[in-house]
A = this chain, B = another copy of it.
Amino acid sequence: MQRCCPPAVGDTAERTNEAAIFKALGDAHRLTILATLSRAEDEVCVCDLGSALPLNQPAVSHHLKILRDDGLVICERRGTWVYYRLALTQKTALSVHYAP
């Protein structure tokens, strides 16, 4: 396989993982959730997250699951309520630089 330019850095699987994170961020409602969590000094319960969005509870829960599955937020149940907070991992740092 002959090419004029060097092949792209990183394999496809790695790039797919990166894309999944960006995809999770590619929704205005989820950005609102993350912004709310970031502004909150402490964790925020689901009902408060939902009250800032024009969605009903199942839809909010759906978006939260996406953020959970991508490791962007973590949740903890205490009694009746579930509290969310940002998962401050490398992923959320998001200092993206192409190419590495």
A residues in contact (CB < 8 Å) with B: 1, 3-10, 12, 15-16, 18-20, 22-28, 30-32, 34-36, 38-40, 44, 48, 51-52, 94-96, 98-99
Which of B3, B28, B31 is the one whose CB lies under 8 Å from A52?
B3
- Complex interface: chain B residues within 8 A of A95 (CB): 95
Q: Which residue of chain B is the closest to A18 with respect to CB atoms?
A: B31
Q: 7 extra interchain contacts, Cβ-Cβ under 8 A, other than A12-B28, A23-B26?
A: A1-B51, A3-B48, A3-B51, A15-B32, A20-B26, A34-B98, A35-B99
Number of copies: 2
Could you say which residues of chain B place their CB within 8 Å of the CB of A51?
1, 3
Chain B residues with Cβ under 8 A from A22's Cβ?
Answer: 22-23, 25-26, 31
